[in-house]
Amino acid sequence: KNQVEQSPQSLIILEGKNCTLQCNYTVSPFSNLRWYKQDTGRGPVSLTIMTFSENTKSNGRYTATLDADTKQSSLHITASQLSDSASYICVVEGSQGNLIFGKGTKLSVKP
Amino acid sequence: EAQVTQNPRYLITVTGKKLTVTCSQNMNHEYMSWYRQDPGLGLRQIYYSMNVEVTDKGDVPEGYKVSRKEKRNFPLILESPSPNQTSLYFCASSFIAGGMTDTQYFGPGTRLTVL
């Protein structure tokens, strides 16, 4: 069964610190993997998209990595800010255009 | 302004009363999709469409219908809503490039309560 699992479920860090969120998937065939940021009650906003041939992609302080062999991805946030408090969702697209979402990691950045 | 709009934003209805949630995008995107989001379950895909007159089931299509008669619109229809369809619904759209979807743009969400 196609699944996307994220860890941790929730995370609290201090402002200015770095953190790394994990994503494991079993989706096959695989088209691409993306990370979204979702503020409470709002629609997700895309951070990165990576195909199977890409190992890393950055968007400002966000850097995503992908290991297609082990089916793992990570999202690294550098020098966290209070505005980074949100849920971060890992999404895998299958070859038919279907999208499978992880349940997200809820990040809280404290001053 | 490029955007995805959904209407209504909030809806309270009763079991069995047919309803339609509209979704419209002004970016000429080929791909459109509906999701529901429930606490503890995350976002789940209901239906998606790769182009006009082409629709496919996502993970949780039961109890829902969609149509794609025009490129810009992708309404979600609940013929006979039930309380387990109480949820937050999102519509999204994107271009299709190289055989896969590009960056998806999400609408503001529709909070539906079925009594």
Say if residue B88 is exposed, middle or buried (CB neighbours under 10 Å; 0-12, 13-18, 19+).
middle
The per-residue pLDDT for B88 is 97
Q: Do A103 and B42 touch (CB under 8 A)?
A: yes
What's the distance, CA A77 to chain centroid?
10
Give the separation between CA B41 and CA B43, rounded to whole angstroms. 7
- pLDDT digit string (tens) for A22-55? 999 998 888 899 999 999 889 999 999 999 889 9
pLDDT at B97: 82
CA distance A27 to B47: 18
Backbone angles phi, psi at A12, to 5 degrees: -120, 125
Query: pLDDT: is B29 or B97 the higher one?
Result: B29
Chain B contact for A52 (CB, 8 A cutoff): no
For residue B81, cis peptide bond before it (omega within 30 degrees of 0): no
Cα diameter, chain B? 44
Q: Which amino acid is at A61?
A: R
Are the CB atoms for A44 and A89 separated by under 8 Å? yes
**Token pair belonging to A55:** 């190992």
A96 touches chain B (CB under 8 A): yes
- Residues of chain B contacting A43 with CB distance shorter than 8 Å: 4, 90, 92, 106-109
Q: Is the pLDDT of residue B25 over 90?
A: yes
What mean pLDDT, rounded, does chain A reach? 94
CA–CA separation, B102 vs B99, rounded Å? 9
Query: DSSP 3-state assignment of A84?
Result: helix
Give every CB contact of residue A7 below 8 A, 6+ residues apart in sequence.
A21, A22, A24, A105
- DSSP run (H or E) holding B112: strand B110-114
Residue entry with tokens 């149509």 = B67
* Rounded-to-10 torsion of CA B2, B44, A9, B106: 0
| Residues contacting B30, CB < 8 A, separation 6+ | B50, B51, B71, B94, B95, B96
Over residues A54-92, the pLDDT tens digits come to 999 999 999 999 999 999 999 999 999 999 999 999 999
Nearest by CB to residue B101, choosing from A41, A93, A100, is A93
* Residue B102: predicted pLDDT: 86
- pLDDT confidence tier of residue B100, bands split at 50, 70 and 90: confident
Digit-coded pLDDT (tens) for B27-45: 999 999 999 999 888 899 9
The size of chain A, in residues, is 111
